[in-house]
Amino acid sequence: MNTPAVVGPSIRIKGEVTSREPLTIAGHVEGSVTVEGHVLTIAAGGHAIANLTAETIVVAGTVNGRLNATARILVRETAEIDGDITAPAVGLADGAAVSGRIETAERKAKLALAS
């Protein structure tokens, strides 16, 4: 599926959200969000108080929680993140606000090999 499912601006979800298709959150989600094999987008104005897991995560809104991607995490200039970020590749735009650790899985693997 090419068209993402959308949690609209007026929608609030508490609990566990799972998806096997692209997902965009423009509303509020509290809990956990897992997107298998696709992109998870937190749109500008979207809020997630959640742990996020996906192939690729794009953040333009606000996230309070851990972000874990198997491919990459892109943090847009309008993003505000309070939590740890883990992915093989991370892109931070000028103006993004990030509080937490950023860890690339590739570096973690290299450190394990060196030990």
CA–CA distance, 99 with 79 (Å, rounded to integer): 11
pLDDT less than 50: residues of the chain:
109-113, 115
- For the chain, the domains span 5-114
- Residues 70, 52: contact at Cβ < 8 Å? no
The Cα diameter of the chain in Å comes to: 50
Tell me what pLDDT residue 109 has.
47
How far does CA 15 lie from the centroid of its chain? 16
Tell me what pLDDT residue 50 has.
97
Query: Which residues pair with residue 39 across a beta bridge?
Result: 56
From the list 109, 76, 80, 78, the residue with the least C-alpha distance to 90 is: 76
Tell me what pLDDT residue 107 has.
52
